[in-house]
Amino acid sequence: MTDLNTALSLIALGILCGVGVLITAVRMPGTWLIVLGAVGFGWWTKWTDLSVTMVAIVVSIAIVAEVLELLMSVFTAKKVGASRKAAWGGFIGGLAGMVLLSVPIPVIGIVLGSLFGCFLGAAIGELLARKKIAQGAKVGLFSAIGFALGTATKMALAMTMAGLVLTSAMCNSIQADSPQTGDASITSEQIEAQHD
């Protein structure tokens, strides 16, 4: 690849990774956008500037991020004795709140709606299961905290993925573009042969 093609493909990869990190914050599949960018860049450079191994590592991190995000809310709610209805209520409430508030308040509404919806859904689920208002509120609060921790964890992993992909791609691109020392020694031998 020419220097211009390399620079443009690195810029495109950087944009995809940046957007991926940003949309992860609003509970969208940003980690998978980073994976898509890594696969596209690897394919475009014939896997010389970004190896298949690095892409496999990034895919593994994306899977771990998804699992942790889902489990975090359930785990924190279970810590305070949440019922199964509360866990489902928190999950459904988080999704519903994200959709409902995303229209009137774009971007921020997704985050606020998912937190509020998770709290409300878990609280209602716990009230239906155990008929205790204080326990319902406690479970709702811990579900919302878990939801926020899950998002923060996924964001941190998305930033890690973006950092790995961009660092690997840039370092390999620079190495590929730098002159080889073997070429310089051949040139000096040729010069000496000309003098003889």
Instruction: Tell me the pTM.
Output: 0.72
| Cα–Cα distance for residue pair 108/55, rounded to 1 Å | 31
Q: Is the pLDDT of residue 17 over 80?
A: yes
| Six-digit token string for 151 | 């998002």
pLDDT computed for residue 37 by the predictor: 95
pLDDT computed for residue 193 by the predictor: 55
Task: Tell me the pLDDT tens digit for each residue of 122-163.
Answer: 888 888 888 877 877 888 888 888 888 888 999 999 999 999
